[in-house]
Structure 1
Amino acid sequence: MKRRNFLRGAALGTSAAAFGGTLMRGAAYAAPAQPGPGPYGALGSADANGIQLPSGFSSRVIARSGQKVAGTSHTWHNAPDGGACFADGSGWIYVSNSEINPGGGVGAVRFGSSGAITGAHRVLSGTRQNCAGGRTPWNTWLSCEEVSLGYVWETDPWGVNAAIRRDAMGRFKHEAAAADPVRHVIYLTEDETDGCFYRFVPTNWGTLSTGTLQVLQAGTATSGSFSWVTVPDPDGSPTVTRDQVSGAKRFNGGEGCHYANDTVWFTTKGDNRLWQLDLTNNTYELAYDDSLVTGGNAPLTGVDNVTGSSSGDLFIAEDGGNMEICLITPDDVVAPFLRVTGQSGSEITGPAFSPDGSRLYFSSQRGTTGSSSGGITYEVAGPFRS
């Protein structure tokens, strides 16, 4: 289903009954996104940082693993992964996970109103393989451990308040999280070949100390209806969470997750798919599948972290592939937005927009060396559409 039609219908106040009628039966399960011209045009030649960008965009290096962030005494972490931006007065903060085990955690870079780096600091230390995560509406960063029986840690992007382990959110191989301020839940992906998709329902919205972990239950098809079922033992012992509920839908390697406008999207790396859940009608479908691309020349492979812009475009980072960040427009067109050259032994991680939407941050987790100690974090600035 074209997301532009969905958003336009929502804006016009289309009723759930009408939306669940002709439109859902007639168009909802159409072919997923297909290649086409991107809204920013073709990629140019690689710049001085080895990044190919559309005309009008530029890149700069923000930080390198093992080196001091420019103008600060803070050493940037190895294997930078999932990230997010937070408004900080007239400036902002970019937080970034460290996907190493042991000793993962989270680092942060602070920016002034002009985009100049004004500081850097540690947010979380001593954890394991912090991969992705998600920001909350109350301005905390959920950092997820991608290990068996891993935890979610709620952290303070400013590094003032101590991080808190949120046991009630379940123990499993966590990947990403996305907050839904309408339903007051947090969606969670699981990085297992037979993983599940979850939501955490806090007892009180705004605090994650207690609540209920639920798993998505659905059929085996690539589209249909779904429901939520409570996971009896979120601690995953003695039975792992994904095996506790009969009929829980399996997903091949859950990765990035993003919520907007009564919809949640998440990627699965094992089959190069982007899934779309319509939370108003409790239906799901494929938004992208590289095996269903017409002509077989898929621009997006190795799907991983995902974020969205104010225009409704989804930006999806590749784990491998052509080392690209591709976008999928609300009209279901998929196209490369940028390509990192000379770093085939790496993966792209942590895409996140500055609060004003004019800058995109991301990392090459292993940089030019192919090692976790070679990570590079970048900023891309330019005329992003709103």
Structure 2
Amino acid sequence: MKKSNKLPENWGRREVLRSILFTAGAASVPTWLAGCVGGSSSSGPVAGATPSATPPPVPDTKQLVGRFANIGPLGAPDVNGVRTPDGFSTRVVAINGELPQPGGMSVAGPQTGGIGNRPWHIFPDGAGVVPRANGGWIYVSNSEVPGVGSLGFTFPELADVASAIEEFTPGLAQVGTLVFDPDGTIVDSYTILSGTTFNCAGCITPWQTWLSCEEFPNGQVWECDPYQPGEGLARPTLGFFSHEAIAIDAGNRMLYLTEDMPDGRFYRWLPDPADWPEGAERAALQAGRLQVLCVDGDGVAGAVNGPQPIRWVDARNPHEPQHQNRLPESSEFDGGEGVWYFQGIVYFATKGDDRIWAIDVAAQTIEVIYDRATAQAPNDILSGVDNLFVTAQGDVLVAEDGGDMQVVVILPDRTLKPLLQVTGQDASEIAGIAFSPDGRRMYFSSDRGGRNGLGGFTNGLGMIYELMLPEGL
């Protein structure tokens, strides 16, 4: 691992702001958040969720044209400061420090009263949606608050010391929810995890729990029940490293995990037979093998020119921090970000080189499907790659951390289109893309957006948007 006290040139806003937060101290953290404590480390199944045994079938990849293939150019910013194509509209549904409102947040200013028993959390990042029995849904959102352990992320030479101190210092991050009725009314808001550190992304499992990832060198994955207030359960079998995001291949009973470090690796987790038996609705996530990706052929660099063969090796000392246990044959990926499994392909992003990768699970190959350094106009509009979401029609939605504060669509034919752009919040990033079960509403966060005091929005401590899609799309 290369050690330096100089900020890397490819750092996004997240890394710079994290460094500023540590330099300035914790005084800027709201006082209500300082009460977050605890976090269970016990194991066992999460109760209360509604299981879903297998994902619904999706069309043949060869027939996909993309849900957003025919959207038009972005228009002028709307009242919420968001540029969208014609026919789309937006609503603000949560703002840091304010109680969510049934009909969404007023543009004019904060409102009295509201839903839930605590203000919306700061720095909302990765997110997902689970369905409710009444036809509504629950939006689950991580809070990416740094802690002592995050010092090891910003300054790798401090990773060991910072991780040791983190063990005795309750984190200030959490996971919150927005509960929607079928008509889009917000009816509740509560916390399902607290006391953790720098919770970045994660994923909704096929059995409708939320896996929340801690992004620091000794970070863990926590499984949470979105359907009721409570605390998550640590899943140490999924490894100790700077977790960013997770994708699940339920058919093959495998999990794929990204690591957000300059010398990060790409991982998969294979359950022990008793942990996820064939035909079982869910994995217990208590026992399995953590493996690391090795790119053969022309290696990682060659993947820009075409598919390269891959293989997997068991991680060294999987119950120890992986930055201390690098395997020489494993391949480096510069800042792993979002990851998504779709129809036999595992897509993931790396921010250090602005690339989107695709692993063919059956062929066991890897290739780069977007490379900022070699992209040609008009397909060069994507930079600061971060969270990913793949639609059932094969669109790869990429949220920008930096760049132009856009969500950019990579269509199945690998052409690019902007889906939206947030204006006036240049110190923020977009994350937390998720859709309502009917696909009509898309949610996303500006994790450092907020009110400007004049009836509009600017940089702040985080807010959640809803994008309403036009009829027929």
TM-score (norm 1): 0.87
Q: 1:258: how far off?
A: 0.6
- Aligned mate of 1:337, from 411, 419, 425: 419
- 1:38 and 1:334 in contact (8 A); partners too: no
- 1:177 and 1:186 in contact (8 A); partners too: yes
Match of 2:31 in 1: none
Match of 1:215 in 2: 292
- Aligned mate of 2:469, from 373, 382, 386: 382
SS in 1 for 2:61: helix
> In structure 2, what residue type is equivalent to 1:272?
D
Match of 1:351 in 2: 433
Is 1:240 aligned with 2:283? no
- CA–CA distance in 2 between the matches of 1:234 and 1:248? 14
- CA–CA distance in 2 between the matches of 1:50 and 1:149? 38
5 Å-filtered alignment, 1:1-386, equals 7-8=61-62, 38-70=69-101, 71-73=114-116, 74-89=118-133, 90-101=135-146, 102-160=171-229, 162-203=231-272, 204-205=275-276, 206-219=283-296, 220=299, 221-222=302-303, 223-237=307-321, 240=323, 243=326, 245-295=327-377, 298-368=380-450, 374-383=461-470
- CA–CA distance in 1 between the matches of 2:444 and 2:267? 26
- CA–CA distance in 1 between the matches of 2:410 and 2:471? 14
SS in 1 for 2:329: coil
Q: 1:273: how far off?
A: 0.3
The answer to which structure has the higher strand fraction is 1
- CA–CA distance in 1 between the matches of 2:270 and 2:191? 29
Cα deviations by residue, 1:44-92 (Å, 9 ceiling, x for unpaired):
1110000000111100001001111113033110000000000111100
- 1:61 and 1:379 in contact (8 A); partners too: yes
SS in 2 for 1:316: strand
Q: 1:210: how far off?
A: 1.1
Match of 2:28 in 1: none
> In structure 1, what residue type is equivalent to 2:387?
N
Q: 1:189: how far off?
A: 0.1
Q: How high is the sequence identity, in percent, across the aligned residues?
A: 42
- 1:189 and 1:255 in contact (8 A); partners too: yes
- CA–CA distance in 1 between the matches of 2:262 and 2:470? 38
Where in structure 2 are there 5+ consecutive unaligned residues? 1-57, 102-113, 147-170, 277-282
> In structure 2, what residue type is equivalent to 1:148?
P
Q: Give the length in aligned residue pairs.
A: 355
**Aligned-pair RMSD on alpha carbons?**
2.2
> In structure 2, what residue type is equivalent to 1:250?
E
Shift >4 Å, 4+ stretches: 368-373
The structure number with the bigger radius of gyration is 2
- CA–CA distance in 1 between the matches of 2:145 and 2:356? 26
